[in-house]
Amino acid sequence: MVRKGKYKLLSYFIEDSLVFYKSTKKSKNYIAFSILRALNFFQVIEILNDFLKRKILFYYSLQIFLSTKEEFLFFLCFKDTRKSIIIKSYNIIRERILETNEFSQFLSNKELEKTYFSIIHGIKNPKIKICGNNNKIFIKNESTLKRFERVL
């Protein structure tokens, strides 16, 4: 049996380079997202896969811009019962990526918030329904349906 957390989409808080959500259920899990802008695709994938295997990173997703083939965005997801563990995990990953790939940048504060929420741009209804399975997320309101696929 898989336990699922329940999070309110607009009840987030930003701490430096992480967007945090706190579960509304009894488990009180935290989930956090960070966005990495990188130029070297293969080097970053190798590092992130290593952290996935070691369970330091919960999952990540990749966005490729077809207009500029040099830039990639990685959406990193962290999950734990303590916020301090998430911050520690983020710092370990950040340090490793920045020491091996000097052209990488972790988005922070307003730039992070703007990029992170650009996926729901245009959806103004507070009664958004989000559902999904292991590999897909659907965001639906009365008039639109957006589908996102998770990449591992």
Q: Which range (42-46, 66-70, 74-78, 109-113) has the least confidence? A: 66-70
Q: How far apart are CA 58 and CA 152, in angstroms?
A: 10
Could you report the per-residue pLDDT of 75-118, keeping only the tens digit for each? 999 999 999 999 999 999 999 999 988 888 999 988 888 887 77
149 class by beta-carbon count within 10 Å (0-12 exposed, 13-18 middle, 19+ buried): exposed
Q: What is the tally of structural domains in the chain?
A: 2
Q: Is residue 66 a part of any domain in this protein?
A: yes
Asked if 24 and 78 sit in the same domain, the reply is yes
- pTM, 2 dp: 0.72
Question: Which domain, by its residues, includes 28?
Answer: 12-121
Q: How far apart are CA 134 and CA 142, in angstroms?
A: 24
Q: Is residue 3 a part of any domain in this protein?
A: no
Asked if 22 and 82 sit in the same domain, the reply is yes
